[in-house]
Amino acid sequence: MPASTNDTGGGLLPTRLIRGYEDFLKGRFRREQDRYGELGREGQKPETLLIGCADSRVSPEVIFDAGPGEIFVVRNIAALVPPYMPDVNLHGTSSCIEFAVLNLEVKHIVIMGHAGCGGVRAFVDAAADPKHALPRPDDFIGPWMSLIKPAAETLGPPQGSLDEYARKLGEAAVIHTLANLRTFPYVREREASGKLALHGAIFGTADGRLLALDEKQGVFLPVGGAVHAEAFAAPRF
């Protein structure tokens, strides 16, 4: 259902959300009502924690066709994870990791970046031209995006096509974020014991292509390539 082009509210919720909720009740909720009831009574037990970007175009539940209770999702700008830093400050992403690993005992953690990430591109533009400086240090976005600096240092300064540099930086950011994830002692311990597996991925926003990280080779490889080709070859209508 297309969103309203001029819905500024005035009601309890935006009209688009109310209509979407009604469609959910008539469709998915009706089909999976027993599943929702079971989750409400017995709680959640997802096997995967997915940390993705807050970008509205890359919903993990949609991309992976996930049902209720299947994926524990954390979304922030550029799908980043800070190093393990237990202190009195507020750590939203870190607290979700702690809960997923220690309470839910997930078996997999996936870091999923995406093509055309605005956070990554902002960092690239700022590195290439001081006029595109990131927000002031006392704002939230600037300090958060500083997490990507070590990944950028592995590539060196931008040269040639900024689009290509941004693509490479997006991949490097996923790799560095996995390294930050391993600074969490309970993540590191569970991975070493074989109870937890870490994964990296990149989603192609425009073409739907999913790449997964082969950490031994340090490269991202296509997933579901044959099915992806079929999807583009099949008639759309």
List 23, 57, 132, 207, catalytic entry: 57
Catalytic residue flag (residue 176) = no
Contact by Cβ (8 Å): 109, 199: yes
Neighbours of 104 (CB within 10 A): 16
List 75, 117, 176, 190, catalytic entry: 117
Neighbours of 111 (CB within 10 A): 25
Helices (H), 134-233: 141-145, 149-155, 162-181, 185-193, 225-233
Catalytic residue flag (residue 117) = yes
Estimate to the nearest angstrom the gap between the alpha carbon of 3 and the chain centroid.
23
Rounded Cα distance, 35 and 29, in Å: 9
Catalytic residue flag (residue 209) = no
Catalytic residue flag (residue 57) = yes
- The distance in angstroms from the start CA to the end CA of the chain is 17
CB-hemisphere CA count at 13 Å for 101? 23
List 23, 28, 30, 114, catalytic entry: 114
List 55, 96, 121, 190, catalytic entry: 55
The residues annotated with a catalytic role in the active site are 53, 55, 57, 114, 117
